[in-house]
Structure 1
Amino acid sequence: MHIVDQEHVSASLRISASAPHVFAVLADPMMHSAIDGRSSVADGTGRIQQAVDQARLTEVGQMFRMGMNHPNHPEGNYQTVNKVHVFDPPRAIGWRTGHDPKGDGQLEFGGWFWRYDLMFVDQSETEVTLTYDWAAVPQSIREYLRFPPFAPERLTNSLQHLAELAAPKLNT
């Protein structure tokens, strides 16, 4: 199910994995391109190429960069700088997305963020809600970017990828 309004879009999915395990996958930037669906551009948003910064996410304020690709971006391939603004293991994790336009370390954030909320169902199931929020995007950016910049179904696709990555691996 998707919830879309003028300021955010969200989707939820029950995942067959414990909340701590799902949270561990989300806190690993190396997993984000797989969650995004990079192996299948038709799923997720398909924009994340790879983690530039590979350290696990451990606290509010932590920064991590991601290599991105978007056919309508002036550079095609580019980097985002993400700043963790929610870190509440194993219940919630989120980050604001920005960039370093001049390459001088002065970050600019566009006003949107990603957030995952995890709700314990039982020892082996977690309800995960993924939200993309653009409420703080200034009008100057809204004049040239359409929000959300992807179809809402892509959030569900990303959650399905997360479910596959978090599923317990059985020894055969």
Structure 2
Amino acid sequence: MHTVDQENVSATLTVAVPAAKVFAVLADPTTHAAIDGTGWVQEAVDRAPLTEVGQIFRMAMYHPNHPDGDYQTANKVQVLDPPHAIGWLTGTEKDDGRLEFGGWLWRYDLAPLGPSETEVTLTYDWSAVPQSIREYLQFPPFGPEHLTNSLHHLAELVSVR
């Protein structure tokens, strides 16, 4: 099931795994390429687990419509509440090392439904994207099925770990 609002899109799926195990997989950047429903995420550049708000982690990406094809994102952890929620802003690192974030947030909310079942909601929120970026990027940049695909990939991954 997925919902689209004016400024965000979300999907929810129940997985037969405890919330702490789901959270551990989400906090591991090396799993993000396997979870991604678009195929844009290629691999983690920074492989350390996500452990604190403000932590930066980079991902190698590919998108055929990106000017370079291959590119890198810099992500900043905004929400870290084990095992209930994790989320990050996505941006870029400039040549001078400055980080710029476009205002879109990826967030997973985990609701335990018992000792071995978790309701996972994935939300892509672009409400903080400034008009200057909205003039050249369409939001969301993918269909809502991307979130559903990501949750199914997550469910497969956590069930075998």
TM over 0.5: yes
User: Within 2, Cα distance between the matches of 1:26 and 1:50?
Assistant: 14
Counterpart of 2:80? 87
User: Within 2, Cα distance between the matches of 1:104 and 1:55?
Assistant: 23
Counterpart of 1:77? 70
Counterpart of 1:48? 41
Give the CA RMSD over aligned residues: 0.8
User: Within 2, Cα distance between the matches of 1:105 and 1:129?
Assistant: 33
Counterpart of 2:50? 57
Q: Structure 1 length as normaliser, TM-score? A: 0.92
List structure 1 segments (4+ residues) > 4 angstroms apart after TM superposition.
Answer: none
How far apart are residue 148 of structure 1 and its match?
A: 0.3
Counterpart of 1:120? 112
CA contact (8 A) 1:14 1:126 kept: yes
CA contact (8 A) 1:16 1:126 kept: yes
Match of 1:150 among 124, 130, 142: 142
Q: Percent identity?
A: 70
Q: Structure 2 length as normaliser, TM-score? A: 0.98
User: Within 2, Cα distance between the matches of 1:11 and 1:34?
Assistant: 18
The one-character-per-residue Cα deviations of 1:40-59 (angstroms, maximum 9, x if unpaired) are xxxx1210000000000001
User: Within 1, Cα distance between the matches of 2:2 and 2:86?
Assistant: 19
Structure 2: 5+ residue stretches without partners: none
User: Within 1, Cα distance between the matches of 2:45 and 2:96?
Assistant: 17
User: Within 2, Cα distance between the matches of 1:71 and 1:88?
Assistant: 35
Question: Which amino acid is 2:149 matched to?
Answer: N
Aligned residues between the structures? 161
User: Within 2, Cα distance between the matches of 1:13 and 1:155?
Assistant: 10
CA contact (8 A) 1:99 1:109 kept: yes
